[in-house]
Every structure is written in structure tokens, then in C-alpha cells.
Amino acid sequence: MATSYLFFSGKGGVGKTSMACTHAVRLAEQGKKTLIVTTDPASNLADVFEQSIGHQITAIQGIANLWAMEIDPDKATQEYIDRAMAPLRAAFPPQIVQVMEEQMSGPCTAEVAAFDRFTDFLEAPEKDALVFDVVIFDTAPTGHTIRLLELPAEWSQSIDAASAGSGQTCLGPAAAIQDAKHKYERALAAMRESDQTSFIFVLHPEAISIKETRRAISELSKLGIHNYRLIVNGVIPPEGTQNALFAARAEMQSHYLEQIKKDLPYSKQFMTLLSGEIKGIHRLSQVAKIFFDGNPAEKTFQAEAIEPQVMPVITPLEDVRSRLQPNGHQRTVFFAGKGGVGKTVASCITAVWLARQGYKTLLLTTDPAAHLGDVLDSPVGDEIAPVAGQPNLWAVKIDPKAAAETYKTRILEDARRRGRPESAIAVMEEELNSPCTEEMAAFDKFIEYASLEEWQAVIFDTAPTGHTLRLLELPVDWSKQLDVKIFASVDATAADDVAKQRFSKVIEMMRDPAQSTFAFVMYPEATPILEAWRAAKELSTVGIRPGLVVANQVIPAQQANTPFTHARRAMQEKYLSDIVDRFGLPLVQIPLLPQEIKGLTMLAELAEQIYQNDFAVENTIGQ
């Protein structure tokens, strides 16, 4: 019998990993040999299964028939480069081989390599290899995943163009990766096979989550993939609605549940919001009974018993303000963290507060799934423009596709103006048509905005963590590529030289805590905290240290007045203490509200509460 494939997708933070792991546990309990693989550069599988996994197929302890693997982008990249370069090491002098290898150190190689490793699981297994009945892919946040799925088509174009031209692509020598082209075509064919493959979108009953799901389905449909299912997660249960705050949120959810029924006509399943975290085989098995068998959550799920915190977590307000306000020169604040934890909300609240303090403020996003306009309730375009209704505030979104076209045109026009021969321009055009260009161009645009001196404050609503870290590592990779171009006698443009100078200036700015603050946003839950902690450690390897932590959707203390809300608040209190102990940084708390955070009035009220009032003041907005 052929292996079945389940792809879990959706906006970050909606519970993809929990739902993917729940499916994996249930299938294993049914006796099916099951493998769960993640392509997310910031994976949480090990956290959910409470054991180390890593870059190899690993048996999950405490249950038969279940294995897992976390694709490590660095290891996958090295394996991929070694495989692509092996035939050439014997054929070319070491100097030339080194140039080719360095040209493969570009920013998209890790993405391609992860996809390459991922497609291995869509191929027929080698003789004697373990054959799985089901392979589950716990994928990265939607915008990132879609780019992964688009790569085979883009790659094919890049390989074809390079084969007709210089024979070299930024992904490696064309001749060495022709086999890969066929492999990706087979992988995409398997994804299109509805009898064998399902795409399961996990979403919350919220506006942005619905919009993201619609967008992702539209993108997948263009690739000829049509077999979709939905899991609507985080539905507030009846026992939750005994509390005023959660009753109001349940009312809000009911409208979105109707919208999902009307706008997304696919097979649907629903998962209730639980009173505690989903971690470990025992609890995953309980969740499977709730999800698949319809068992009541209140009687089935056993939340972890938590000792109440003796002291509330309060940060002196001055410590927070000093990391956000300009202090004689421009202040740049980067909001980072796991997808879906509220970076956009945190960046909008902060930008509105700074603008209302009289600082000329620019708010921008490098997230491919830009939600700034949704939260501001005001359109945000590809050019810097004032935000209507809020003096001192301007906003812009970087569209990677539009940035790539502008960047390509600029580089080629510069080369022609300098009288470069058409043969050299053709080589440059080949490189610029590769899948790397979007990421390079988005970063180039980011540098352009970061270099502007007219703003007193610049707030970046960044992309999910793994993606953001690759953006920050880009200058180093790009500089390497520029040096290689020169060494290989491919003309480097003046624009590249200027870019290199700007890069070093901006990176120095990022490393200076007097000019820049990296603020990590998270829910007060284990997985987002661990993810932020890992990302902060990775940032420190490029000399950047976080300056602030933000806990989002904190249940106000006075709302912990039912068993359900008390259990969730106790869990949050434990993790708020953990955040302060682990990071040792000022903590900002954004309260859970009865409705979604949207519009300038609400943002201004929240900004006042969070940054102006005493931190001990509890939430009163919308109540």
C-alpha cells in the first residue's frame, strides 16, 4: 500500500505542531508506522514530545510505531553542497571549486537544502529502509511554506536558464543539479495526488487567520494542489464561557465560525481551547480522544497542577521606556518571535505610543504575510505613507516580489549604463532570476529604510524567527557572494559596493543597544518561550543581544475567577516568571482582551495602559 502524506499548514501560532503531533500519536496507536517531519527552521517537535530529536529519524519514546525528524537547515545545507560538488572536485582545480562552493553560500541555499531533504520523504524508500504508512509534515508558517513549495518551479527555470548560459547558478553548478530538478517535479506530482496527499490548514476563528488561510489555499491552487481539510483550533468551550472575558471572546469567535463555514467550503474539524498545555505522549493521547472521539475536554484533559506564584511579575516602567524612546539619536526597535504570537500587535502599539509622544515614527514590516494594515485598520502600501488619523506615524510594507523586480532592474540598468558587455549582463541576469533574489532584494530594501535618518524612531514588525535570523545573516552571505563574483571575473556593480558599506553600518547599528532594541514577543507558554530563547542565542552569535521581552494575551488577574480561567492564568503566571528568570530583561505585558486588537483608538488606549500607566494596573479596555 502506498504511503499517505499529511501536510499541516497555517499561520504561525495556531497550533499546527500540536495538531500534527496529535494526529501522529493517534495513527501510531492504530498500528500505522508513522513519521512526523518538520521543515520549520524553528522547530518545536522536541518540546512537544519532551525528548531530543534532531536531524535524523528518531523513535519517539513511550509509544510504538512513531518516529520524528527535525530537518536542521545548517546540516541539510552542508549535505546538499557536498552532494552537488562531489562530481566537480575531481574535475576542477581547488581554486575554482572553492569559488563554486562560496557561490552556494547564498541566503536561499539553506531554504533549498531543507526542501531537498524534505522531498527525500516523498521518494520511494531505499531497499531495507523503514517503510512508513503515513508521513506527516509539520510545516513552517504559511508564507514561508508557500515559498518552499514554489521553489521546484522556480528552480527548474533557474536550472534551464543556467544550462543555456554560463552553466553556474547560485544554487550550484547546473549540471550537478539536473537530477534535483526531476526529483522536485516528482515531489510536486506527489503533492498533487489527492488520493495520497492531504493539506490540513489549522486556523483560529479570527479575521487574520481566516485571511491567511484563504491566501494560502489560493497560492496552493495555482500549483495544482487541491485536497484541503481544515482544523479550526482554539474554540472556547462551554466551561470557558462562565467567565465574562472568555464569554465575550466566544461571542467574537461565533461570528468568525459562521464566516469560516461560509467562505471556506472544505471538510472541517474543530478543536477546543484546553485549560493547559499539550505536551508529552500521555496528554497528546488525551487530546486525540477529544479531537477524534468527541470525548468532553473537561473530563478527558488533565492540565498540569501548578503552584500559584507568590509575587506578581512587575517591571518598572522606566526600564521599558528607556529601551523604546529615542535618546538623542534614532531608535530602532525590532519585534521578533515565533509566527502568530502578536509581533504585529506589539509593533503597532509601540509605534502609536511613540508617535503620540511626538516622535516622528516609521513602522514597517518585512513579513511576507503582512498584517500591519489589518491591525492599524488602515491600508499600508509598498511606499512610505502617513497613517491617517495618527500624526507623526508613517507605515510601509516590503513586498519581496515587488522589491525583487525593482532590484533586478536597477542592477541591470547600472551594468548597461557602465557599458558592460551583453555577455556579462546575461550572466548577471541569470543570477538575478534565481530564487535567491527576492530575499536579497527584501533585505536591500530593509537596509534602505534603516539607513534613512529623517525618523526619530523606526519600528520593524519582522517575519517569524527563523526567517528573520536568515535576513540578519544575509549581509555576511551577500558580501561573500560579492567577493566571489569579483574573483570569478563576473562584474560586481557599484550598487553592490554601496550595499556592502550600508550593510556594515546597519549591522553596527543593530549591535548597539543605545540605538537598537530587539524585543522578543511570546505567549506565556513553554514552546514560544523556548523558541524565543533559541532565537536570542542565535542572534548573539552575530553580536546582537535582546533588550526587551513582550508577553502577549496575558489573562488579567481578576478574570481568573472560574476553574478554567484560573488554570490558564496559573499556567501563564508560571511562564511569566520563567520569562523574567530566563531572559533577565524588562517585561512588557499585553492583556488578553474581549475582542481583537484593531484600529488606532484601541491601539492608543492599550499604549497608554502598557507604557504610561503603572504596570500593576490591570486591563479595563472593552469591559
- Per-residue burial over 373-409, b if 16 or more Cβ lie within 10 Å, else e, is bbbbbbebeeebeebeebebbbbbbbbbeebbeebbe
Distances in Å between the Cα of 335 and the Cα atoms of 168, 317, 324, 395 are: 37, 19, 11, 15
Measured distance CA(268)–CA(90) in Å, rounded? 55
| Closest by Cα among 422, 345, 543 to 165 | 422
From the candidates 39, 40, 43, 109, which is the catalytic residue?
A: 40
Name the one residue in this structure whose C-alpha cell is 504610561. Answer: 612
C-alpha cell, 474: 544575509
- Written as one letter, the residue type at 490 is V
C-alpha cell, 239: 466551561
E strand intervals along 455-566: 457-461, 516-522, 548-554
Active site residue 4: no
3-state secondary structure of 591: strand
From the candidates 15, 342, 466, 547, which is the catalytic residue?
A: 15
3-state secondary structure of 8: strand
Burial group, residue 204, by CB count within 10 angstroms (0-12, 13-18, 19+): buried
From the candidates 13, 143, 240, 337, which is the catalytic residue?
A: 13
| Closest by Cα among 501, 479, 490 to 105 | 479
User: By the 8 A CB rule, do 52 and 45 touch?
Assistant: no
Q: At what angle do helices 244-263 and 207-222 cross, to 10 degrees?
A: 30
Active site residue 58: no
Active site residue 409: no
Active site residue 480: no
From the candidates 3, 9, 17, 437, which is the catalytic residue?
A: 17
Q: How many CA atoms lie within 13 A of 94 on its CB side?
A: 0
Burial group, residue 278, by CB count within 10 angstroms (0-12, 13-18, 19+): buried
534: how many CB neighbours lie within 10 A of its CB?
Answer: 16
Phi, psi (deg, nearest 5) at residue 479: -55, -40
From the candidates 16, 181, 338, 408, which is the catalytic residue?
A: 16
Measured distance CA(561)–CA(567) in Å, rounded? 10
Q: How many CA atoms lie within 13 A of 228 on its CB side?
A: 22
From the candidates 18, 39, 275, 437, which is the catalytic residue?
A: 18
From the candidates 77, 119, 493, 527, which is the catalytic residue?
A: 527
3-state secondary structure of 440: helix
Beta bridge partners of 333: 459, 517
Active site residue 13: yes
Name the one residue in this structure whose C-alpha cell is 509539520. Answer: 138
User: By the 8 A CB rule, do 41 and 467 touch?
Assistant: yes
| Closest by Cα among 120, 91, 128, 126 to 179 | 120
Q: Annotated catalytic sites, by residue?
A: 13, 15-18, 40, 527
